Structures are given as structure tokens and as C-alpha cells.
Structure 1
Amino acid sequence: MKQTKGAIAVSSSELVEMVSQQLQTLLIAGSYDAVKILLEPVQPVDIAEAIGSLPRTVQALAFRLLRKDEAIEVYEYLDASVQQTLLERLRSGEILELVEEMSPDDRVRLFDELPAKVVRRLLAELSPAERRITAQLLGYEAETAGRLMTTKFIDLKEFHSASQALAIVRCRARDTETVYSLYVTDRSRHLTGILSLRDLVTVDPDSSIADVMTREVVSVSTDTDQEEVARAIQRYDFLAVPVVDREQRLVGIVTVDDVIDVIEKEATRDLYAAGAVQAGDEDDYFQSNLFTIARRRVVWLLILLAANAGTSAVIASQQAVLKEIVLLSAFIPLLIGAGGNVGAQSSTVVIRGLSTKRIQNLGVWRAIWRESLAGLFLGLLLLIGVLPWAWQIGGSLLVGAAAGISLVAITTLAATAGAALPLLFDRMSLDPALMSAPFITTATDVVGVFIYLQTASWLLVHFRFH
């Protein structure tokens, strides 16, 4: 868990921009002592953002002017691309010292972004203890608790007294991620209990840890998905959650600051999927070149283009009815637009429900049924406004009836599909976000046009009025 210095401050884009501008001016002028004075009261996260906004040619110079302990903390806040740039520009000794002092979890995240050849070299140069810890974390599957956790935590024994435990906390506090949650293990490192620092400092110094600790411990395993870890911390308002292996031995903890990073990463991935954009490994979209941006978009656009060809095929197959009543074509955008919007709303609600696990409480079939009824109700409400207008503009009872009937059918179908398709993908262990607005809209376009023209054709054949 990254710590901040001094009083708690609210960072802002204006502050970072001001620091960045002054920092660049001072570096160009060679006023290095003034740079140190400028950065002294600034929080590490703001320093990292200011350095990241500098030209690459001066980033390493600014970073070298930081104190050793501050440089390590600032480095952990930097974007992956800036971290890699600094590794290329710093001397070998500086790099090794920097990587050696990083938190194990932050070091693993850095290694995930580096070429394999560079990772092997850095691993070989680490101290035996740090190499063993790093190799252990890298051995776990990506996006699991094992890969996300840190091994720097404080563990106590049941036979320790409160005064002994406080002495251990004082001794190890500087080298651990958090001191607010303390874990109790037996001689085989099995997790047996937990207590807070508040519990420890408020009991009698001679009290045994066994009498103070809570034995009902919420933990996650090393192979638990990182999203499940985030939900556990959110559900129980933890600052950290313990991670155990298959033998229930305590091997690490996941802290709340790492979970926030996970939530941001997952939200970015879902937003990209919702917009039919291929997400990269990191949220580096605005740092990507145009070729990469086009590559991320074109795959899904080609798929959607092929799907939209179905709409053209449906319209082409109904040339007879369109020739007889040309005005029918004027209402196609209105109907498929309404269907696409309703379907997008339903898919958004359901995908969010899956993310928060509230769909499970409601039930899959009940969720689909509720959205279907909502689509029907919305269609009837829209019908009240559309039917008189379509009748008046079209000057034909057929056009008004076809538009009105189709509108109700399309919105009901769109809401049902918008709810059912993400749930189907979730059941198939696929990302529900893939069944988001672009795909729901495309499917609704094809089916909506078919319903509309088939309805108009049926009315024309059976009633012969226009």
C-alpha cells in the first residue's frame, strides 16, 4: 500500500499542471536545487503525474533529483510507459536499486509490462530473498489474488502477549504494506485469526493474542479472480484481505489501493467492450499510435458491418411493398432507432447487475421477464406519440398501423434481447460486456426492419388500404 507524506491534500489537475510547467522550466534552466524545493511539499502521486507529463528527454533528470525513498514511492505511481522509459534511461545500478526496493506486487506489475528478456535480467540481479518472492508471485495466474497480493504483512502467534505483539509491529511496521490489519498464524503458517491494530492497543498488555483475535476470518485463495477479491474488500469494508494457498497457509494480502486499480482496469475494459473497441493491456489508448487505434476498432466494425448487411438484405427482399407504399421507408430509422436505444438500455442495466451480483439475487428468468415487460410498456408509451404523427405525416392508415404495431413489437423484443444476451454470455463464461449497445443495436436493426415490413405487407394484403 503506497503511503503519502505530510497532511492529506486534495490533488487537482491545476496543481499538477502548475508543478509540471514550473518543473520543466527549472530543469531547462539547470536550477536543480530549486526543483528539490518545488517538489518537497508535493504528494508522490502528484509528482509522478507531473513527471509523466514532461518531455521524455527530461523525465529521467527530474526523477534523479528525488530522494531515494521518495523516488521509489513516486516510481510505483508512474504509468507503465513512463516506468519503462526511465528503465531505459537510468544507469544499471540505479535500475537495480530501484527495482530491489519496490513493493513485491508493484514489481510484478512492472515485470508484466517489460519484455521477457529484460525481466530475466532484472530477476537474476535481485537479491535472493526478493528474487524468490517475485518468482513466487509471477508463478500465479494473471488477474488472480496470487498475482495481485503482496507478501509484506505482519503475522503474529496466538501465544504472543499484546505487549509482545506491539513490539513486533513497531519492529516491522516500516517494511510492511499495512499495520492496521494483523494476522495470526500457527507454527505451520496456517491462518487462524485476525485482529486490528485498534484491538491490540486497547487491551491489557499482558492479554494473550488468542483472547483478542477473531477466529472467523474472511480470506481468498491464490487462484481467486481479482474481481472477486475486489468484491470481498468492498463487501466487508476491509483495508486488506488475507490470501491463503490450498493448504490454508497465509501467503500474502491484497490491499485496498491495489483493488482500486483493479476496479479501474475492469471498468475500462468493460467500457471499451461496450463501445466495440478492443482494449489493450492497460488504459493507454490516448498514448497509442493511429495504427494501433485503428486495429483495435476495425475488428469489431467489420463484424458489425457484416451483421448490418442483414438489414440491407431484409429491405431488398421487401421491394414490392416499398414500391407500393414508398412512405414506409421514411419510418425505418425511427423504428430501428427506438429498438436500438431500448435494447442498449436493457443490456446496460443487466451488465451492471451482473457486475454488482444483484442479478443473482433477482434471478435470471425474472430479470429477463422484467425487462420484457419494461420494453412492452415503453413501446406502448412511445406508441401514443408515434401513431398519430405517423398517421398524419403518412396520410395512410396502413403506415400508421404498421409503424405503431411494429414499434411495440420491436421495443419488447429489443428489451428481451438486451437482457437475455448478456446473461447468456455470462452463463457461457464469456464477457457479458461483449453483448452491449453496438451488438444489441445491430441485431435489433435486422429484426426490427423485418418485423416492420412484414407487418406492413400483411396489412396491405389483408386490408388493402393506403
Structure 2
Amino acid sequence: MLTQEIRTSLSEIGDLNRLKTELNEMPAIDVGDYIRGLPEERRAIAFRLLNKTQATDVFEYLPHEVREELVGSLHNVQMCHIIESMRPDDRAELFDELPAGIVKRLVQQLSPEERQATATILGYDEGTAGRVMTTEYVRLRQGLTVGEALSKMRLADRDKETVYYAYVTDNNRKLKQVVSLRQLLFSIPDARIEDIASDRVIKARTEMLQEEVAQLMKRYDLLALPVVDREDRLVGIITVDDVVDILEQEATEDIQRLAGVADGGESSLSSPLSKIKSRLPWLLAIMGLYIGASSAIAPFQTTIAAVPVLAVVMPLFSNTGGTVGIQSLTVTIRSLSVGEATPQDTLKILRKELIAGLGTALALGLAMVIISLIWTTPEERWVSVMAGLVMATNSLVAVTLGTLLPIGFVRLKIDPALISGPLVTTMLDTIGFILFLTMVTISLNVLHIIP
């Protein structure tokens, strides 16, 4: 791990030859952290100190803003070598981030084999198994012996993504069996592959969503998962390191969407312009929604004028009710995302949430009564009771919406993470304000306080 002490010691090295030695001996991921933290004008200098192998490994660990910057600043030959040496899936991910003109230039410099591998991956939709797979895998033909298979792997598969699994196909590349390296090593050389390989092959289709792939590999504890096309032909594999990236990406998107950040790729180091682009649309949309909430309050101006303490009490609904909804929403989305719950569990989930919500509603309602007594006069104590009743009701509505909305999205085959926290908060604010002001208005009219 790149500690602050190591970072400081590297920055104090004045001799470039010594710095070059240090960087090439460090783990690639730590060098990536070091280069990312450098000022923009020094990143290219530090990157040029890396040898070819280290440069390729480090490049894959850099954030896309830094990679795009290096593509424009490095010598064309050096960058083409790095792109050529990258794994096809990482190369495809990079091309997704770069401007079309740069991608076209880099593709033309690739060897025909690497160009075809990249084009294959880019031909699939984003977020699918086909888009995140790699075409570097160990394939064995039916009819080979264990000895022949091991010889083939030593000669031809040294640079494959992983050798822990080998996939047995027929002459048409249709996936038939899977065999582990352990099985090959501990079987007699004359044994035939078909006799030791497993017919029970867990596989993904190219069109399968990447989050479903991650859940499949997690469920069966796989280090790699074969990917087949619609005709059952083996086209690639997805490895466990790809799954870690998928889970991180999905978690990041879910967290940012819940907070109302449109672009799931924003990071703390993103440029100010990209931050504005990802946040401002949501903020403007929320303002638009609050126009509705404000419009719902507008007809009750007479009520608020008659009982000014309402303006003091109402913000408590805005903060507390929205938080209750976001809590339920977050837990439900997480359970659906990791496979702990399915839409078939709707009634069970809702029952548990309502039971928990009832206890929460009673506690919050009582707290609302007590807190609002601070601002109400003896003649307005009934307002505190109304506030407590509305708070309890709004809490039950909040847990209901936080449970049913994401489940409804899943049933419609829509990502439930698209339901943002600000959206739910605004809905609950509107419901709470209308309910509270309506009840107060009715009470005032019955008591003939309003002239």
C-alpha cells in the first residue's frame, strides 16, 4: 500500500535514475496511486520512467482522466505499445473513455489479432457480459489427452488471462466441458480430457447483465466464468478481478444515484466541469419537483398566517420523513442488488418494514409532539398533537414507498437505483405538508378561528 511516508520519500528523490529504479520495483497499483497524485505536468515524466511491462500494468490502474491525459502527452509509438499490450477487455474500457478521434488512431495501430479482439468486445452493449469479458482464455479441443493438454497450455497459453480453468469445446467452438488446472496436474498423462472434465458448466450469455454475472460468480465461488453466444459458442471469459470492478462500479452508481448524482463515474478527483454536469441536472430536477411541493402549500397561506408556528414545525417533516424513506429505500435496493431478496418477497419485506416502521412512527410521533411544544403557546397545543399524528403517518408512508418503489422498478426491469434519495424526500415532503396543513385547516374551520 502506498503510504504517505512512501509518497514523501519518492518526491524527495532528485535523481531520475534512482526514481526510475524505485518505480519499476514497486507494485503497479502503488505506482498508479503515486502518478495519480502528482501535479499534471509531472505525470508524463514519471510515467516515461517505467519499463514497458510496468507501464502497461500501471496504465490499467490509473483513473480515466489521467489515462486520457497521458494518451495525449506520450509519444505515439510508446502509447501504441502500451495499448497493444493491454488485455482486450481493459483496452475496450479505455476506448469507451477516449474521444472518437483518438480511438480511431489507436485502433489503426493495433495488430489485426488485437484489433479483432477489441472489436468483438465493443460490439456488445455496455453493462453486459460480452462487454466486460476478455477473449484471452484457455481452450482445449475434445479428443486431447491430459499430457497433450498440458503441453498445449505451456506452449500457447502462457499469456492468457487465467489458466486455472480450461474450457473444452468441439470443432465448432461449442462449449462442452470445463476442467481445472488441479484436475490436469493430478491426472495421468494418458487420460482423455473428456473423462476427467466436468459436464456441469456454469456459463453466462453475452447479453446477460454484468451485475447478474457478478451474482452468478459469487454464488458458485468461481474464479472465472465462460461466456457463450446464442449458439453456445465460447467467445470469452470473465475473471474474478473483473467481478470486483463490476461490484465496485455498481455500488458506486447506486450510492451516487441515491444522493442525486447523475453520473455514476464521478470521483473526488473529477474535474469541476464534470462535477457540475453530473450534479446540476438532478438539482434542477429537484427544484422542479419542489415547485410542486410549494404549490401544494400555496393554498394554505391563510392557515399559516392564522397559526404562524406552523412555519416552525413543518421543516421537521422535511428532514425526518425523508430520512425514514431513504433508510428503507437503501436497505431494499441493497437486498435486491445482492440477491438477498426478490420481487416475489414483496409481501414479506413490506410486512417486516411496516412492523419496524410502526415502532419508528410511534417514537417519532411522540418526539414530534414533545419538540413542537417548545414553540407552541398553550392555545396552540393541539397543533403539536396534529404534528405528532402526521409525523407518525408520514413515517409509515415513507417505509411503504421505500419498499415498494424499488421492487416495482425491478418488476418493470428498471434499475431500482434510479430512484434517488432526493426524489423520495420530495415526494414525502409534499405528502406530509398537504396532510398536515389539511388537518390543521379542517381543525381551524371547525373551531372557527379563521374569520
Same fold (TM over 0.5): yes
CA 1:463–1:288: 2 relative to 1, 3 Å = same
Q: 1:245: how far off? A: 0.9
Deviation >6 Å, runs of 4+: none
Asked whether the 8 Å contact 2:24–2:50 carries over to 1, the reply is no
Residue 322 of structure 1 is matched in structure 2 by: 304
Q: 1:240: how far off? A: 0.9
Residue 296 of structure 1 is matched in structure 2 by: 278
CA 1:317–1:48: 2 relative to 1, 3 Å = same
Residue 454 of structure 1 is matched in structure 2 by: 438
C-alpha separation between the residues in 1 aligned to 2:324 and 2:442?
25
Residue 314 of structure 2 is matched in structure 1 by: 332
Q: Which SS does the other structure have where 2:179 is aligned?
A: strand
Residue 254 of structure 2 is matched in structure 1 by: 270
Residue 150 of structure 1 is matched in structure 2 by: 134
Question: Amino acid of the residue matched to residue 337 of structure 1?
Answer: N
Matched, 1:257 2:244: no
Question: Amino acid of the residue matched to residue 313 of structure 1?
Answer: S
RMSD: 2.4
Q: After superposing the two structures, state which structure 1 stretch, 400-409 or 361-370, moved more.
A: 361-370
Asked whether the 8 Å contact 1:376–1:409 carries over to 2, the reply is no
Q: After superposing the two structures, state which structure 1 stretch, 209-218 or 380-389, moved more.
A: 380-389
Q: 1:392: how far off? A: 7.0
Residue 305 of structure 1 is matched in structure 2 by: 287
Q: After superposition, what is the alpha-carbon deviation per residue over 1:108-146, rounded to whole angstroms, capped at 9, x for unaligned?
A: 111112222222222222212112212222212222111
Matched, 1:358 2:340: yes
Asked whether the 8 Å contact 2:167–2:177 carries over to 1, the reply is yes
Matches within 5 A, 1:41-440: 41-279=25-263, 282-289=265-272, 291-360=273-342, 363-390=345-372, 394=376, 395=378, 396-440=380-424
C-alpha separation between the residues in 2 aligned to 1:400 and 1:335?
13
Q: 1:156: how far off? A: 1.4
TM-score, structure 2 normalization: 0.92
Asked whether the 8 Å contact 2:136–2:161 carries over to 1, the reply is yes
Q: After superposition, what is the alpha-carbon deviation per residue over 1:161-199, rounded to whole angstroms, capped at 9, x for unaligned?
A: 222222222223421001111111111111111121112
Q: 1:274: how far off? A: 0.9
Provide the aligned length of Structure 1 versus Structure 2.
448
Q: After superposing the two structures, state which structure 1 stretch, 214-223 or 93-102, moved more.
A: 93-102
User: Percent same amino acid at aligned positions?
Assistant: 38
C-alpha separation between the residues in 2 aligned to 1:351 and 1:179?
36
Q: 1:445: how far off? A: 0.9
Asked whether the 8 Å contact 2:24–2:51 carries over to 1, the reply is no
C-alpha separation between the residues in 1 aligned to 2:100 and 2:335?
39
Q: After superposing the two structures, state which structure 1 stretch, 129-138 or 397-406, moved more.
A: 397-406
Q: After superposing the two structures, state which structure 1 stretch, 188-197 or 85-94, moved more.
A: 85-94
Asked whether the 8 Å contact 2:168–2:178 carries over to 1, the reply is yes
Question: Amino acid of the residue matched to residue 37 of structure 1?
Answer: T
Q: 1:46: how far off? A: 0.7
Residue 7 of structure 1 is matched in structure 2 by: none
The answer for unaligned runs of 5 or more in structure 2 is: none
CA 1:283–1:320: 2 relative to 1, 3 Å = closer
CA 1:325–1:78: 2 relative to 1, 3 Å = closer
Asked whether the 8 Å contact 1:230–1:263 carries over to 2, the reply is yes
Question: Amino acid of the residue matched to residue 287 of structure 1?
Answer: S
C-alpha separation between the residues in 1 aligned to 2:54 and 2:391?
62
C-alpha separation between the residues in 1 aligned to 2:313 and 2:267?
41
Question: Amino acid of the residue matched to residue 348 of structure 1?
Answer: T
C-alpha separation between the residues in 2 aligned to 1:267 and 1:319?
43
CA 1:138–1:311: 2 relative to 1, 3 Å = closer
CA 1:129–1:322: 2 relative to 1, 3 Å = closer
C-alpha separation between the residues in 2 aligned to 1:96 and 1:388?
69
